[in-house]
Amino acid sequence: MPELPEVETMRRGIASVAGRRIERAAVIRRASVRPLTVWPSASALQRRLRGARIEAVERLGKRVILALEGGDRLVFEPRMTGLVLLTDPPTAKHLRARLTLSGKGKAELLFWDRRGLGTLSLYGPDEFAERLGPDRIGPDAWGIPASVLRDRLDASRRAVKVALLDQRALAGVGNIYACEALHVARLAPERPCCSLTRAEWRRLAKALDGVLSEAVRYEGSTLGDGTYRNALNQDGSYQAHHRVYARAGEDCPRCGDAVVVRTVLGQRATFACPRCQG
DNA sequence: CCCCAGTCCTGCGGGC
DNA sequence: TGCCCGCAGGACTGGG
C-alpha cells in the first residue's frame, strides 16, 4: 500500500521523464475490470495531455504529480494497489493508462492498478489549489518539525495513531508507518493527542523522520499480500525491517520481553508493544 | 468536532 | 480438493 516512502520511490523512479513531451495519452478500459476513476474525463484528459511538456515530477503526500508546461498538473493517486511504471506491468489486465513520451529513445509511463481504487486527475492551477491545496493536504510528514506536528494535532482528543493518518493534518503517513513511528517513539497508539507532552511530540516527530527516511532508503515496503513495486517493477525491502507492523505474536524488537499485539483502532489494524508503548 | 459504517475493488488465505 | 467468506485499507461520504 503506497504511503510516503513508496510514493517517493515512485517519484524518483520516474524523475527522468522530466523534460519529455507526452506524445499520446491513453486511458485503457477493459470489459473485465471496472474503469479507472479519471478526472475530468478520459477524453478530455487524453486531449489536454497531447503534446504537453513535463516540467517536473513531484510528490504531494501519497500522490505523484507531473507538473506540465502551462500549469496543468497530472495527479497519480495509487491508493491501495496503484503503480507508476516505466517498464512492463505485473499483469496486462490491470493496466489503466499509458503515456507515450517523445524524446530520446522510447519511453512509456504506465499506471497500473489491480484493485482499481486509484485515480488519475488532470487539474488546472485553480482546480489543483481547490482540491489539493494546503487546507486539504497538510504539510509533508517527512521531516515535519516537532512544533508543526504539535500545533496541528495537540488540541485533538483523537487517538494519536488515528490523527497521524489524517492527511489534512499531515501528509503521507499510512497505516504501516504510523505503527512503526509510534513504536520508535514509544507511544501507545490509543493515546489522545491532547495527552502528549512536548517531549513526546518531539520524540514522535523524530521517530517519523527516522522511520520515513529509513523506509525511503530501502525503497518502501512490499508486503506479501501487497503489490507495491518501484517504477521498474522491483520490490521494496523495508518490510524486512518493520518493528511491529504485521508482526503480531512476535517478540518486540525493542524490549525482547513482550509480544507485539494487534488491536483495531479507527477501524484499522494496529500493531504495538504493550510494554514499550505503555 | 469526532466517530463510525459503508463504498469502491480484487486476490489471497483460512476454514470447513 | 474446492468453495465461500472475510480481510486488506486510502479516501471519501453521510448520518449520528
- Which residue ranges in chain A fall short of pLDDT 70? 224-226
Grid cell for residue A91 = 499483469
pTM above the 0.85 mark? yes
Active site residue A89: no
Q: Which residues, at least 6 apart from A99, have a Cβ–Cβ distance to it below 8 Å?
A: A22, A24, A25, A26, A49, A108, A109, A110
Q: Count each helix (H run) and each strand (E run) in chain A, helices first.
A: 7, 11
- Do the beta carbons of residue A273 and residue A260 sit within 8 Å? yes
Angle between helices A198-217 and A4-13 (to 10 degrees): 40
pLDDT at A180: 95
Of residues A12, A268, A274, A275, which has the active-site annotation? Answer: A268
pLDDT at A226: 55
pLDDT at A103: 82
CA distance A263 to A71: 45
**Per-residue pLDDT tens digits for A29-42:** 888 888 899 999 99
Strand A261-265 with A82-85, pairing? unpaired
Task: Using a 7 Å cut-off to protein CB atoms, list the covered nucleotides of chain B.
Answer: 1-5, 8-13
CA distance A278 to A271: 13
pLDDT at A225: 57
Residues lining strand C at under 7 Å (Cβ) are A 1, 3, 61-62, 77, 79-80, 115, 117, 136, 165, 167, 174-176, 225, 268-269
- Do the beta carbons of residue A13 and residue A2 sit within 8 Å? no
Residues lining strand B at under 7 Å (Cβ) are A 33-34, 80, 93-94, 114-117, 155-159, 162, 224-225, 266-267
**Per-residue pLDDT tens digits for A179-207:** 999 999 999 999 999 999 999 999 999 99
What is chain A's alpha carbon radius of gyration, rounded to the nearest angstrom? Answer: 20
Task: Using a 7 Å cut-off to protein CB atoms, list the covered nucleotides of chain C.
Answer: 7-12
Active site residue A268: yes
